[in-house]
């Protein structure tokens, strides 16, 4: 199989990730943080070292700021539902947001009466910073929540510029880095993000079941999920300090062990260079096909990893089925859990897009076989 669905989850993982998880499952898969015996302590030490490695990815120093959760969606729910939002507050999002943000904020708007506004786009579908600046003057932002890299088009948003403008109004800033954490250089010291959300199973090449967020804020989020933490157990309120405040329930030690190994072998600069080069190669090859419609950023420097396209006269899901059944090529089709952006792409007649998500294990030969397959249609 040629696997081109890495934007959903990277596959395969480095072999040592599988090995580390097998070791953990057999050797330390106990309830970390709940016991004084040696194996529980070993599991706890691995978890704390994982936090340290996550902080290092974003050039940080406060290890306790790395919060672990089962998924990026849960992380975003915890953050957005935990923010001090009230009726009339304006929350800005990009048109590239995933439903982990869009549906969460939609529900909060129904419950609390907040307003959710989209940042404006230029004709080339890049964020219009000048118009966004005017929006912020007109309607002061309480919170700005943006994805770093679009899971539909691969567009790299100008996140630092957006957040810098937002901070002039004292806004809370939330970065969804599910498609960029460990791939692009994120510096917690300069990016102006209060919260940076990551998914272990995507660009970090870890397993499913472990994710989290970097808490770079002074905000004490209201706990969204409550329960046992292994600390302050006689108190009915959740602990005040991070990360315990946000980490109810037993941790998935096996998944965390896999993430720990993925972080240990992570080569962010090499991954970025490899994926960037392959993205450009794929776009150039797809451009040679007259029956292909590409939905890509105007500039290569604003693009990485994800490419959406359609084939004239075909629904996107039909292309996905043909590529799978006739050529053993795995791609993603449809709307990709992104509700806003498709009105700009005008792809409804195709039922969304065909999406390829590139990873470090893909090759130019994979792209050549994809292009050859489409050329036969």
Phi, psi (degrees; rounded to nearest 5) at 69: -140, 170
**Which residues fall within 8 angstroms of residue 309, CB to CB, at 6 or more apart?**
286, 292, 293, 294, 295, 353, 354, 356
The dihedral region occupied by 346, where left means phi > 0, alpha psi between -120 and 50, and beta the remainder, is left
Give the Cα separation of 365 and 308 in Å (integer): 19
Cα–Cα distance, 330 to 148 (Å, whole number): 25
Would you tell me how many other CB atoms lie within 10 Å of the CB of residue 337? 15
pLDDT (0 to 100) of residue 34 = 79
Q: What is the pLDDT of residues 52-94, one digit of tens each?
A: 999 999 999 877 799 999 999 999 999 999 999 999 999 999 9
Q: Is the pLDDT of residue 171 over 80?
A: yes
**Ramachandran region, residue 26 (left: φ > 0; alpha: ψ -120 to 50; beta: rest):** alpha
Check residue 232 and give its pLDDT.
85
Instruction: Give the residue with greater pLDDT, 33 vs 115.
Output: 115
Report the pLDDT averaged over residues 170-188: 97
Residues 200/184, Cβ–Cβ less than 8 Å: no
pLDDT reported for residue 266: 98
- pLDDT tens, position by position, 112-128: 999 999 999 999 999 99
Instruction: Grade residue 259 by pLDDT with cuts at 50, 70 and 90.
Output: very high
331-373 residue pLDDT tens? 999 999 999 999 999 999 999 999 999 999 999 999 999 999 9
Phi, psi angle pair for 185, to nearest 5°: -75, 115
If pLDDT is split at 50, 70 and 90, which confidence band does 233 have? Answer: confident
Distance of CA 199 to the CA centre of its chain: 6
Mean pLDDT value across residues 233-245 = 88
Summary mean pLDDT of the chain: 96
pLDDT above 90 for 299: no
Q: Where are the domains of the chain?
A: 2-11+267-375, 15-264
Cα distances (angstroms) measured from residue 207 to each of 143, 210, 259, 265, 344: 31, 7, 6, 14, 33
pLDDT of residue 36: 85
Fold of 15-264: 3.40.640
Higher pLDDT, 228 or 50: 50
Phi, psi (rounded to 5 degrees) for 350: -100, 5
Residue 35, pLDDT score? 78
Q: Read off the pTM.
A: 0.97
pLDDT for 241 equals 86
User: What pLDDT was estimated at residue 242?
Assistant: 87
CA distance linking residue 304 with residue 202, whole number of Å: 14
- pLDDT exceeds 90 at position 268: yes
Looking at CATH, the fold of the domain delimited by 2-11+267-375 is given as 3.90.1150
Given the DSSP bridges, would you call strands 172-176 and 141-147 parallel, antiparallel or unpaired?
Answer: parallel
Rounded distance, CA 335 to CA 346, Å?
12
């Amino acid at each position: 199989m040629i696997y081109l669905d890495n934007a959903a989850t990277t596959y395969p993982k480095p072999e040592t990730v599988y090995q580390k998880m097998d070791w953990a499952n057999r050797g330390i898969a106990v309830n970390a943080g709940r016991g004084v015996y040696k194996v529980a302590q070993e599991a706890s030490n691995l978890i704390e070292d994982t936090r340290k490695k996550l902080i290092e990815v974003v050039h940080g120093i406060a290890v306790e700021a790395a919060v672990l959760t089962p998924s990026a969606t849960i992380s975003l729910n915890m953050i957005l539902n935990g923010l001090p939002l009230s009726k009339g507050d304006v929350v800005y999002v990009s048109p590239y947001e995933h439903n982990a943000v869009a549906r969460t904020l939609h529900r909060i708007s129904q419950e609390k009466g907040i307003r959710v506004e989209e940042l404006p786009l230029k004709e080339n579908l890049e964020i219009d910073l000048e118009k966004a600046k005017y929006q912020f003057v007109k309607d002061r932002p309480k919170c700005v929540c943006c994805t770093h890299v679009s899971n539909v088009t691969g567009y790299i948003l100008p996140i630092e510029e957006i957040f810098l403008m937002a901070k002039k109004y004292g806004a809370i800033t939330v970065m969804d880095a599910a498609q960029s954490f460990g791939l692009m250089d994120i510096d917690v010291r300069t990016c102006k993000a209060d919260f940076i959300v990551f998914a272990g199973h995507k660009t970090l090449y870890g397993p499913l079941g472990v994710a989290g967020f970097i808490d770079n804020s002074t905000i004490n989020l209201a706990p969204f999920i409550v329960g046992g933490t292994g600390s302050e157990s006689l108190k009915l309120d959740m602990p005040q300090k991070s990360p315990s405040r946000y980490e109810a329930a037993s941790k998935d030690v096996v998944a965390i062990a896999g993430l720990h190994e993925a972080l240990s072998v992570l080569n962010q600069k090499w991954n970025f260079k490899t994926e960037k080069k392959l993205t450009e190669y794929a776009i150039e090859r797809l451009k040679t096909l007259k029956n292909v419609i590409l939905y890509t950023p105007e500039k290569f420097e604003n693009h990485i990893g994800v490419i959406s396209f359609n084939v004239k006269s075909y629904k996107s899901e039909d292309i996905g089925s043909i590529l799978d059944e006739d050529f053993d090529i795995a791609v993603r089709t449809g709307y990709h859990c992104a509700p806003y952006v498709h009105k700009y792409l005008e792809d409804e007649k195709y039922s969304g897009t065909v999406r390829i998500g590139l990873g470090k294990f893909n090759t130019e030969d994979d792209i050549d076989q994809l292009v050859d397959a489409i050329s036969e249609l």
